[in-house]
Structure 1
Amino acid sequence: MSSFYDWISIAIFAALIVLFLQRSTDEGPEIDSIWHYLPPSIGCAVANYFGNEGRDALAIAVLGATLAYVWVVLKPLYRTPKG
């Protein structure tokens, strides 16, 4: 854990874990499956690899794509209406 990419990748991955655990304990309808979390998890690993290899632009692009996937597909701020 020595580079910026190590820390940011771990932070995004930890947020994915929290989102998955929160949604897996919800009583409402199932919004997503565990397979929806695979692409951003791989994205974190790939971005960390590129960042540690000194390919900063590629690492930032992969991190951006990972965050875009999380925002569009997983919808972390989506809340089901209670009723």
Structure 2
Amino acid sequence: MCGESKTVHLQGINETVWYKGFVIQPFEWNDGKLGNRMGQLMRLDDNGSWQQQCFRFKNSATHSHDEKKKHMRLWWKIDEDSRTVQFV
């Protein structure tokens, strides 16, 4: 996966459950413990439903408004793939 972008798809149960808000952060996962945030989240849906939470590092995203959503797509990119990631 080195240098590639992977699609992250957030949705309610079977797209029958709506949600209003979310926050997502990718962390290094090592021996059952969370490490540092890793990679960058980039916009895939251009509907204004989410925004970067940490503009400098782009490693956290949250909702932009509380309108009901069925699903959300974003890209996650990392430069090297030797670590395990846990999205929280």
TM-score w.r.t. length of structure 1: 0.29
Greater strand percent: which structure? Answer: 2
Greater Cα radius of gyration, structure 1 or 2: 1
TM-score w.r.t. length of structure 2: 0.28
Greater RCO (Cα-Cα under 8 Å, separation 6 or more) = 2
Greater helix percent: which structure? Answer: 1
